[in-house]
Amino acid sequence: MTVGLYVGDGLRRYAFGDGHPFGPDRLDAFWTEAQKQGLDQRVTLLEPVSTDRAAIERFHTKDYVDLVIERSGAGTGFLDYGDTPAFAGVYEAAACVVGTVLDACDRVISGELRHAFVPIAGLHHAQRNSASGFCALNDCGIAIETLRAKHGMERVAYVDIDAHHGDGVYYGFEDDPALIFVDLHEDGRFLYPGTGHAHETGRGEAKGTKLNIPMPPESGDAHFMQEWERAEAYLDAARPEFILFHCGADSLAGDPITHLRYSAAAHGHAAERLCALAERHCQGRLVAMGGGGYNRANLAAAWTRVLDRMAENANQATA
């Protein structure tokens, strides 16, 4: 049993140009560090793959997909009110992020892989009918819908430690009791998108099925580890059949656009615990998505730590 890692131009193309916080050099920074640590020798390398419109429309509305395709062809303007520029080919690039996450889910379910990691993925701000915060298509939401529709998974868990609240996933499933949702993020009073308050636990029938943990600005590893225990107890009780892990690295100290102060140890801790949790509940089925992270050294450190913990666990699970 092994861990799949997706790298290649297909993922690199989802970026907003050189010099942008979400630039193409993010993937390069991670990949250089992964090779330096010899992680490329401990995982199975896989090529990114695209997907079709039918899969995308499991989460997004038809009208919104039409709009992304149209602006992607034009290559100008914005997909939202100003955060997410429509570069030429943005639809194809985002569809490749989505397809790669879906491929990772397929290979984990088939047993070919124990876990998988997709560094450029986790576009968690896109809503069902709109773009937001650098996110054109919500690969996380599409993966959740696909795990249900294609693989019959009922209890999918989505765990997010990016500094920003995963609002596209939260509001996309706010009234859906089957989605197990845990999100530790910087308190919305201090950071975009301003949501994810502790009282947001789901709506209607889904009330109590979502756990939002807002962290005060400047929170470090100690506070993260303490709150993690609550997140883990909640996940254990929910007995997931599949775990999607959004390991955004913008929650590390030194990120240019957020105010949390974790180190890569927080990401390593979460990854190690989620691997163990996945072994307890669902034969190790865990797919991680890189998410945010705009300080290149930070994202390289956090994402390689996650990948290292996954490779170590898969090795032990096999032994």
Residue numbers at the binding site for Zn ion (CB under 5 A): 162, 164, 248, 250, 292
Burial class (CB in 10 A: 0-12, 13-18, 19+), 22: buried
In this structure, what token pair is assigned to residue 314?
């898969």
How distant, in Å, are the alpha carbons of 2, 6, 34, 35, 116 from that of 45? 10, 6, 12, 12, 10
* Nearest-approach distance from CB 103 to Zn ion, in angstroms: 24
* Nearest-approach distance from CB 220 to Zn ion, in angstroms: 18
Q: By C-beta, is 130 or 251 nearer to Zn ion?
A: 251
Exposure string for 3-13, b = 16+ CB within 10 A, e = fewer: bbbbbbebbbb
Helix (H) or strand (E) holding 305: helix 296-318
* Nearest-approach distance from CB 252 to Zn ion, in angstroms: 11
DSSP one-letter code for 247: -
With CB atoms as reference, the residue minimizing the distance to Zn ion is 292
Side chain identity at 111, as an amino acid letter?
Answer: G
Helix (H) or strand (E) holding 107: helix 90-110
* Nearest-approach distance from CB 162 to Zn ion, in angstroms: 4
Side chain identity at 138, as an amino acid letter?
Answer: N
Q: By C-beta, is 4 or 134 nearer to Zn ion?
A: 134
Q: By C-beta, is 102 or 252 nearer to Zn ion?
A: 252
* Nearest-approach distance from CB 207 to Zn ion, in angstroms: 26
* Nearest-approach distance from CB 154 to Zn ion, in angstroms: 29
Q: Are 156 and 178 in contact (CB under 8 A)?
A: yes
Q: By C-beta, is 83 or 279 nearer to Zn ion?
A: 83
Q: By C-beta, is 196 or 248 nearer to Zn ion?
A: 248
Q: By C-beta, is 167 or 241 nearer to Zn ion?
A: 167
Helix (H, G, I), strand (E, B) or coil at 274: helix
Pairwise CA distance, residues 148 & 156, whole Å: 8
